[in-house]
Amino acid sequence: MTEKIIICDDSQEILDLIKIVLEEEKDFYVETEIDSTKLISRIKTEKPDLLLLDLWMPKMSGKELLHLIRNDEKLSLLKIIVISASMDGEDVSTRLKADDFISKPFDINELIKKIRTLLER
Amino acid sequence: MEHNIIIDNPELNVYLAALDSSNSGIIITDNRLSDNPIIYCNKTFENISGYSRDEIIGHNCRFLQGKDKSQTERYEIKNAIISGENSKTVIRNYKKNGDLFWNELNISPVRNAHNEITHFIGVQNDITKNKKLINELENERESVNIKIAERTKALQENDNFLRGIIQTVREGLLVLDAEYRIVSANNHFLRTFKVEYNDTIGKILFEIGNGQWNIPALKKLLIQILPTNNPVIDFEVEHDFPHIGKKIMLLNAHRIEFDNEYSDRILIAIEDITERRDIENRKDDFLSVASHELKTPLTTIKGITQLLQRSRHKTIDEKFFDNLDKLSNSVDRLNNLISELLDTSKIQSGYLRSNKKSVIINDIIKEAIEQLHPTMSKHRIEYNSNKDYSVCADDLQIQQVLINLISNAAKYSPDSDLIEITSDKVGNFIKVSIKDFGMGINSDDQEKIFKRFYRSTEIEKKFSGLGIGLYISSEIIKNHDGTIWVDSQDTIGSTFNFTLPIYEQSIT
């Protein structure tokens, strides 16, 4: 079964990289979103199985998005892995709202492992 | 010349002898004769004036005045003689040799049965010595006065100098008395808080400016100063002040000492660190943004490197993959350097926050070893795990310390292949030790290696690095109420140890 994953990050190169990495896995179908303000409506229509979310984005931060998703009845159970370059105390608390966390630069094997573990839950 | 008057009257001779033995010079003038001439003088008068009796008798007293005839005392004497009254004056007179002497002169008239003044008796005392003593005393007093004036001036200058310093420093200074009343405040204080001198001096600190200084934590500290002599050091107050808005102030206060004795005065120095904090924050923000921005391309490089590494194929030269491994290691090193710089900046500004919770130390050690495994080509890590103890710690930060210590152990023991890790319960602490069999650290360097940017010269020659890994580790351990140290012997190896308090509920 193919699992749908949406990646939201403000860097096109990161989006491209993760898309290549995950699509090599064959059983992942990957969509990307560079504009964080469009993410919520895309999740609503595309209903992904998992979201990879960057924290530090212009316009709308990953933290705000986490808050919106977790407080939305229909979206609150979405599986989310946060990806961020910084690991501050603030991020740690955000991490608690997410299902898992991976810091940039990440090991692609670790990323895939985390995604699979979370999807199997 | 015969000085004694020879009178054949034994009774009178006794009187004359009595007059001669007086300490005062005595003359008698005959007022009935013209120009009131001297008709008698005693021996002491001869001694005082230096003239002999023969040179005196017949003269008017004025000869004693020499050329100094303008003294007002002369007229007093003249008036007394005309009116026939007693008089007492001090007048400048001159001896035969011209020397000045101060003559204390008492004149009394002698009247006959008809109440006519027949004679005057002049009693004279040479008070030159007294006068000299008085003059000396006056001179002495004068010079004392001059000295006092000079001292006062010096003190004034000193005072002005100190006042100048107090008014010039870019720190608000206040002096309080035992009732916390403001005794003095410098200009910088008044300017900073936009308050008037009159609204400040004499007022109780906690009451001025609508109680803007009535800050409970500060009050508590200040109240302790006088009874305990405990100073307030670097107390940070963030407060919304009425005229100047929100400010961060750094306060230092202590009891003022005079001659090694404490007075009932408190000196408070107030430094406005709002701007400094702001700059620090902007620096931290900049470093955060910079490291975030640096890590984004690094993520791509690392990811693509890993993708290429995955595509191992027999047709591709093995050397290509060796180079990819080197590239991958460099990316990891660059990533660590960026993280360390960011951490150092956070420690410096006191913002290294720990997200502490109960964690099992064994798990953290195992995770660190697992993470390092791919990078350890040569070294074997031996870990004899102990009972599962929980510590109250930020697992990611402790992991960072372990990774730093284990990587150092490998880095500085290139000729050995073993790293030993142990963890033991020591009192209420868990002690973790990382032992290598490498080059060791000389005793001078052992204390310094935990300092920021310190790298021993020996190491500098052989290995690259920033010298902040151990500094960050020591700050993290300190932040966890533990200690970190090294036991080492040159050429035999080093053991880095750190302790963490055991999570209380797990102590059985």
Contact B306 A108 (CB under 8 A): yes
Pairing of the two strands B418-426 and B380-384: parallel
Q: CB–CB of B12/B32 below 8 Å? A: no
What would the pLDDT profile of B258-303 be if each residue is shown by its tens digit? Answer: 776 767 889 999 998 998 888 878 887 888 788 888 888 899 999 9
Compute the average pLDDT of residues B485-496: 88
A93 band by pLDDT with thresholds 50, 70 and 90: low
Contact A104 B303 (CB under 8 A): no
Residues 6+ apart with CB under 8 A from A72: A40
Contact A85 B353 (CB under 8 A): no
| Mean pLDDT taken over chain B | 86
Q: Which of B288, B304, B354 faces A86 most closely, judged by CB atoms?
A: B288
Supply the pLDDT for residue B94: 92
CB half-sphere exposure, B461, CA atoms < 13 A:
2
Contact B300 A13 (CB under 8 A): yes
B244 band by pLDDT with thresholds 50, 70 and 90: confident
What would the pLDDT profile of B310-332 be if each residue is shown by its tens digit? Answer: 877 777 788 888 888 888 888 88
Supply the pLDDT for residue B346: 73
Q: Which of A20, A85, A88 faces B295 most closely, judged by CB atoms?
A: A85
Q: Quick count: other Cβ atoms within 10 Å of Cβ B279? A: 12
Q: Which of B296, B306, B310 faces A14 most closely, judged by CB atoms?
A: B296
Q: DSSP assignment of B67-130, as one string?
A: T----HHHHHHHHHHHHT--EEEEEEEE-TTS-EEEEEEEEEEEE-TTS-EEEEEEEEEE-HHH
A7 band by pLDDT with thresholds 50, 70 and 90: very high
B312 touches chain A (CB under 8 A): no
Q: Is the pLDDT of residue B455 over 80?
A: no
Chain B (11-70) residues lying within 8 Å, Cβ to Cβ, of chain A:
none
Q: Which chain A residues are within 8 Å of B288, Cβ to Cβ?
A: 86, 88
Contact B303 A105 (CB under 8 A): yes
B266 three-state secondary structure: strand
A88 touches chain B (CB under 8 A): yes
Q: CB–CB of A84/A56 below 8 Å? A: yes
Compute the average pLDDT of residues B88-117: 91
Q: Is the pLDDT of residue B154 over 80?
A: yes
- Rg of chain A taking only CA atoms, in angstroms: 13
Q: Is the pLDDT of residue B59 over 50?
A: yes
Residue B413, amino acid: S
Q: CB–CB of B433/B496 below 8 Å? A: yes
How near does any CA of chain B get to the CA of A74, in Å?
31
Residues 6+ apart with CB under 8 A from B269: B171, B172, B173, B251, B252, B253
Separation CA B105–CA B91 (nearest Å): 7
Q: Residue B96's closest CA among B68, B55, B42? A: B55
Q: Residue A41's closest CA among A74, A82, A4, A2? A: A74
Contact B299 A17 (CB under 8 A): yes
Q: Is the pLDDT of residue B2 over 50?
A: no
What would the pLDDT profile of A15-51 be if each residue is shown by its tens digit? Answer: 999 999 999 888 999 999 999 999 999 999 999 999 9
Q: CB–CB of B182/B202 below 8 Å? A: yes
Q: Give the rounded percent of residues in chain B with a pLDDT score beyond 90.
A: 32
Closest residue of chain B to A57, computed from CA coordinates: B292
What would the pLDDT profile of B163-206 be if each residue is shown by its tens digit? Answer: 888 888 889 999 998 889 999 899 888 888 888 888 889 999 88
